[in-house]
Amino acid sequence: MENARKPFKLPHVYIIFIIIMLIVVLLSWIVPSGEFGRVQDPVTKQMIVDPSDFHYIEKSGHITPLAFFQSIHDGIVQSGDIVISLLLIAGVIALIESTGTIAAGIHKILEISAGKELAVIVVLMTIFTVMGAIGFGEGGMPFFPLAISVVMALGYDRMAGAATAILGMCVGFSSGLINLFTTGITQIIVGLPLFSGIEFRLCALAVFYLITLAYLLHYCHEIRKDPAKSVLKDEYMTQDCKAAAGEHVQLGARHRLALLGLFLLFVFQGLGALKWGWHLPQIAAIYLMYAALLIIIFRISPSGAMGEIIFGVQRMLPAALAIGLARAVMILMNQAKIIDTVVNAAGSSLAGKSPVTTLLLIYFAVTGFNFFIVSGSGKAVMMMPILSPLGKLLGINQQVMVLSFQYGDGFTNYLWPCGALVALSVCGIEYADWLRFSWKIFAALITAGFVLILTANYIGLGPF
């Protein structure tokens, strides 16, 4: 009797990152090294590319085994702000979970949502969309498991819960409504007023949101009607919705006070990022202040509170390390001196093309580049000084060039491995299962993005 053939399974998330790193090493032997001159932007004070000063350089040596593995350490160190903030925030979330506040809140939602389960998903996705629109990226990931718990308690599968959070964050972030990390930096680099063109981006956000919501609600409706249609049908068919909701806890006065504090925390986080120039260290600090408040409200022993925080940190550690591995990919590309060569080649190939063709190629170039470099601000500093004068030469206004970069950067943050694997590791979702679920919606969003770029070009979206 022949052994049953084992189904193909993707390797561990860290192994996938190492494979991508090896691809970069291979490219370093094929792609010639080159670099642009850098000048300081008078407004942002960042060093940006001088598009008139590109030159090939002699390779100083190929990436050695020592440098390859050192890049993992360096990637984690260079991602320190993000990694440490995520770990601290995850620890505080574990603390609030230990008080029963989350379980009590979920059960209250279940009480008032009987027969209105899809409405709860709409509200949750809207919350994550707003978070993305104001620039939440990795900072929203500690909340993904909470969304999954709520959606699974409503009777849907883990994929629906993960998609509610991930896709909501994705369309909000990609819209660039008031996103400092993409729209803000690119508009400053090309000389546009900060967040100008917001009316068009708001309309675009509505388009992306409705497409995504329709896809998600259709999936939820289908799996409730036939659980075998779930991407995770083996888990879903044996799922215990009551267990997903957690132990039944009555929503008491202290829980209500803790939830009010959590709501105010979100408000201050948004205001801090938009109005007071806060970054991750300040945001992590207010979470720790909230943790101190929880200790007082629930009269938790300090040692017990530290134990819960450590538990939360442990849960988030795999995702935090994945962020470092994603940064290691960029470190290797920088070491090989091939990033500027690729950007220069992309810019040169676009010269002389029609505006529509140029916009399409720019869109695909940014989308493809996002496979290796997830950082939107990092790509902006490298690419926009090239794309901006190219747009001027071809009569494409700068607002449209910003949109092309913004949409090309945004959607694939949760499709390409370097971005998606980090979020999926938090959600307990395999990458292959995510691709099976999400490829259609990402295809639709990428297509809608290009149609909106062409629309912006046709109407002459300004200011120029």
pLDDT tens-digit map of 8-41 = 677 888 898 899 999 999 999 998 988 888 887 6
- C-alpha atoms less than 13 angstroms from C-alpha of 271 in its C-beta half-sphere: 7
Residue 396: which residues within 8 A CB-CB, separation 6 or more?
355, 358, 359, 390, 457
The structure's pTM equals 0.80
Element at 19 (helix H, strand E): helix 13-30
Least confident interval from 144-148, 352-356, 418-422: 352-356
Burial class (CB in 10 A: 0-12, 13-18, 19+), 462: middle
Band of residue 315 on the pLDDT scale cut at 50, 70, 90: confident
Residue 2 has pLDDT above 60, yes or no: no
- 3-state SS assignment for residue 397: coil
Averaged pLDDT for residues 408-416: 90
Band of residue 298 on the pLDDT scale cut at 50, 70, 90: very high
- 3-state SS assignment for residue 48: strand
pLDDT computed for residue 19 by the predictor: 92
- 3-state SS assignment for residue 38: strand
CB contact at 8 A, 280 and 85: yes
Mean pLDDT, rounded, of the chain? 86
Q: Where are the domains of the chain?
A: 41-51+64-459
The rounded distance, in Å, linking the Cα atoms of 27 and 342 is 11
CB contact at 8 A, 374 and 325: no
The rounded distance, in Å, linking the Cα atoms of 107 and 352 is 61
- Tell me the DSSP string of 186-208: HHHHHTPPTTTTHHHHHHHHHHH
pLDDT computed for residue 449 by the predictor: 96
Residue 7 has pLDDT above 70, yes or no: no
Residue 91: which residues within 8 A CB-CB, separation 6 or more?
291, 308, 309, 310, 311, 312, 313, 316
Averaged pLDDT for residues 74-79: 90
Averaged pLDDT for residues 52-77: 88
- 3-state SS assignment for residue 62: coil
The rounded distance, in Å, linking the Cα atoms of 406 and 398 is 12
In the block, residue with structure tokens 């500027």:
340
Task: Specify the higher pLDDT residue, 43 or 87.
Answer: 87
Task: Specify the higher pLDDT residue, 387 or 201.
Answer: 201
The candidate with the shortest Cα–Cα distance to 107, out of 236, 241, 291, 298, is 241
Rounded to the nearest 10 degrees, what angle do helices 65-78 and 80-98 cross at?
A: 50
Averaged pLDDT for residues 268-293: 84
Band of residue 208 on the pLDDT scale cut at 50, 70, 90: very high
pLDDT computed for residue 1 by the predictor: 42
What is the 8-class DSSP label of residue 221?
H
What is the rounded end-to-end Cα distance, in angstroms, of the chain? Answer: 71
Task: Specify the higher pLDDT residue, 277 or 288.
Answer: 288
Determine what percent of the chain is predicted with pLDDT higher than 90: 37
Residue 4 has pLDDT above 90, yes or no: no
The rounded distance, in Å, linking the Cα atoms of 211 and 174 is 14
Determine what percent of the chain is predicted with pLDDT higher than 70: 94
Averaged pLDDT for residues 249-264: 86
Residue 134 has pLDDT above 60, yes or no: yes
Element at 334 (helix H, strand E): helix 302-336
Task: Specify the higher pLDDT residue, 20 or 47.
Answer: 20
Residue 42 has pLDDT above 80, yes or no: no
The rounded distance, in Å, linking the Cα atoms of 122 and 217 is 8
- 3-state SS assignment for residue 35: strand
- 3-state SS assignment for residue 398: helix
The candidate with the shortest Cα–Cα distance to 154, out of 65, 244, 94, 75, is 244
Averaged pLDDT for residues 272-285: 80
